[in-house]
Structure 1
Amino acid sequence: MSSKDNVVKDLRELYAILGLEQVDAHAGFTVHYLQDTFKQLPFRSQPFRPNYFSFLFIRDAFGQYTIDDLQFEVRPLTVYFTNPGNYRVFEWHAIRDTCLITFDEAFLKEYVHADVFQQFSFLLTETMQPRPLQPYEFDTLEQLYRYIHREQYGNSPYKQKLIGALMASLLLKIKEYFFQDYNPIYEGNRSSEIVKTFKIDLEQHFRDLTAGRTDTPLRVQDYADKQALHVNYLSNVISTKTGKSASTWIAEKTISAARVMLQNPALSVKEITARLGFLEPPHFSNYFKKHTGMSPAAYRKQHPETRS
C-alpha cells in the first residue's frame, strides 16, 4: 500500500490537520469527546502511524478502523485500543457519545506505574479488536473517563497525579474485564510474536538499566540474538510491522527513560549517564539534545515536579 509511505507521524501533526487546537498534544496525555470534534460526517482521516497509545470508549457511535491491512467495525458499547506504530485510518459514520484518551509511554511511567508494561501487559498487544461490554461494565468505565476528563480541564495543582491514579484504575478495570490471563507473546502470527517479544525484551532491558541492574546497552544485534534471528530479518520485521526501525525503537526508549529519570532530583546527570550505558555525561548530553532539542539540564529545569 503506497500510501503507507506518506502518513501523519505524531499526535500534534494529526490534531493540527483536524483543527484540534484546543487539545494540548504536547503533554503526553489528551482526552476529549469526538462528538465535539467531528461535526460533519461521514469523516475519513488521513493515514497515520501514531506515536502514542489510545483508548476509544464508544457509548454511541458507528465507524470503521483500518490497522495495516485489517478492518474493524466500531459500534456502541465497545472499547477500542491501539498502540504506537501501526499504519491506520479511521472513518466515522455517526458519533453521538465517544471519548478518546491518548497517552505516551513517558506519561504512563511517570504517573501510572514505573513498570507499567509488567503490570498491564495487554498494552503490548499489536492489534486488538474492539471489545464489547455489558452496559453495567461500560457504565463503570464511563465514570472513570468522565472523572479523567473533568480533571484534565480543571485547575487542580495535582492534575497529573490525579489523572495518573484514575488511569491506573481505568487500566485495572479493563484488565479485569478482558485481560486477566493475557500473554502478548502468544497472540498473533509469527511476525506479531517477533514484534511483541522485541518490545518485551526492550522494556525489560530498560527496566534493568534504570534500576541499576546493568549498565550495558544492547544493540539491534543483541535483540536479534535473544530470538535466535538474523539481525537483518529482525530489522525487516520490526520496520514492516511498526513503521519504525529497531534502532529508532531503542533510541525512543532511551529518551523516554532519560526523561523520567531527569524528573527525579535524587539522580544526578552523571548517574543517569551511567545507568543508560553512556561512557561520559557529554556523550549522554549530546545524544539527549539531538533527540529532544534541549540539554538534560534545560529539560530538568522545565520539569521540576517529580513523582512522590
Structure 2
Amino acid sequence: MDLVVKDLHELYEAMGLAVDSFDANSGFTIHFLQDTFTSLPFTSVPFRPNYFSFLFVGEAFGKYTIDDQQFTIQPGTVYFTNPGNYRIFEWQRIVDTCLITFNESYLKEYVHDDVYREFPYLLTETIEPQVLTAGQFAVIRNLYGEIYREYHGESPYKHQIVGSLTVALLLKIKEFFFQDYNPIYEGNRSSQIVKTFKLNLEHHVRDLVSGKTDKLLRVQDFADLQALHATYLSNVISSKTGKSISTWIADKLITEAKVLLQDPTLSVKEIAHRLGFLEASHFSNHFKKHTSLSPLSYRKAHLL
C-alpha cells in the first residue's frame, strides 16, 4: 500500500528524515537534497504526494519511478511530477540537487490565479526528464538559488517574492520545453481522462467563484462532460491519482476558499455562496473538517 502525503514535511517525517528546515503550513518548500540525504544509498517508500514538485539535478545519480515508468537520474536534468502520481525515488549519489515543492493553494495565492491556462504543462500526468543545455541550466540554477535565499530569509514579503521568482522559473521552463504544449493529447486514454477531469474541475470552480454558476457539480456531472459512465470515471481517477473524485472536489474548494478568505471585503457567507454551499454553516463545517480551522480563524491567522 503506497503512502498518501499532503506535503514534503509529512513524507520526510514518515521516512525518518530531517524536517527542521520546512514550514509545514506554507505550502512551499525548497531545499538541497545533499543536505538531507547524508546516508546513501537511499530508497523511499512508495508514495502519492498531494503537491507539485520540480527536481533540478546538477550532479546526482539514482532512479525515479513515476507511475509505471522508471527514469535514470542524471546530471543536467529537470524532473516534474504533479499531485497524485505514484512514485518511488532511489538515490545512489547526490552532489548538487535542488527540490522545490508547492501545493495548489500556494500557486493560486502567490504565483498565478489561473495557473493551468498560463502553465498547462502542470496538468500532465508524466513528463519525461527534460535535459537542459549548460546555458539553460545556469539560468534555472540562478532562479532557484534566488528562491532558496528568499525562502530562507526574513523579508516580511517573503512569499510574495518567492511567488514572483517562481513565476519566472515556470516561465523559463515553459520557454525551454513547453511553448506549444497541450497536455490533454499526451499519454494514454486514462491519462487523458484524468487531465480532462482536472481541467473541467478547474473551470467549474472558476465559474463558481466568478458567479457564472451557483450549482456545484457532482460525479455524474463530470462523467457527463466526458460522455463516460460515472463509475468508470470514478475508477479511473481513483486508480490513477490515489484520490476519489469527491476528494478532488473537496480539495479544490478548500484551495479556493483559502484564497477568498484572504480578501477582507468578502464575508464568510458570501464565500460560502460563491463556492456552491447553500448555508454558511455547511461551508464552515466543510472548511474545518479539511483544515482543522474555522474560516474566521484561518482568516485571522493570514491577515496579520
What is the TM-score of this pair, normalised by structure 2?
A: 0.97
Once residues 7 and 274 of structure 1 are traced to their aligned partners in structure 2, the CA distance between those partners, rounded to angstroms, is: 35
Amino acid at match of 1:198: F
The alpha carbon displacement at 1:8 in A equals 4.5
The alpha carbon displacement at 1:262 in A equals 0.4
Q: What percent of counterpart residues are identical?
A: 64
Contact 1:215 1:274 in 2 (8 A): yes
Contact 1:15 1:25 in 2 (8 A): no
* Corresponding residue of 2:254: 255
* Corresponding residue of 2:196: 197
* Corresponding residue of 1:10: 6
RMSD: 1.0
* Corresponding residue of 2:226: 227
The alpha carbon displacement at 1:25 in A equals 2.9
Once residues 15 and 88 of structure 1 are traced to their aligned partners in structure 2, the CA distance between those partners, rounded to angstroms, is: 14
- Residue-by-residue CA offset, 1:140-186 (whole Å, 9 max, x unaligned): 01100000000011011110000000000000000000100110110
The alpha carbon displacement at 1:41 in A equals 1.1
Q: Does 225-234 or 17-26 show the bigger shift?
A: 17-26
Other structure's SS at 2:84 match? coil
* Corresponding residue of 1:53: 52
Contact 1:195 1:241 in 2 (8 A): yes
* Corresponding residue of 1:156: 155
Amino acid at match of 2:194: V
The alpha carbon displacement at 1:215 in A equals 1.3
* Corresponding residue of 1:176: 175
Once residues 19 and 297 of structure 2 are traced to their aligned partners in structure 1, the CA distance between those partners, rounded to angstroms, is: 29
- Residue-by-residue CA offset, 1:72-105 (whole Å, 9 max, x unaligned): 1111000000101111100011111000000000
Gap regions ≥5 residues in structure 1: none
State how 1:54-69 maps to structure 2 within 5 Å.
54-69=53-68
* Corresponding residue of 2:106: 107
Contact 1:86 1:241 in 2 (8 A): yes
Other structure's SS at 1:266 match? coil
* Corresponding residue of 1:138: 137
Amino acid at match of 1:227: Q
The alpha carbon displacement at 1:117 in A equals 1.1
1:186 to 2:185 alignment: yes
What is the TM-score of this pair, normalised by structure 1?
A: 0.96
The alpha carbon displacement at 1:26 in A equals 2.2
Other structure's SS at 1:175 match? helix
Contact 1:32 1:99 in 2 (8 A): yes
The alpha carbon displacement at 1:221 in A equals 0.6
* Corresponding residue of 2:289: 290
Once residues 96 and 194 of structure 2 are traced to their aligned partners in structure 1, the CA distance between those partners, rounded to angstroms, is: 34
Once residues 19 and 161 of structure 1 are traced to their aligned partners in structure 2, the CA distance between those partners, rounded to angstroms, is: 26
Amino acid at match of 2:176: Y
Other structure's SS at 1:55 match? strand
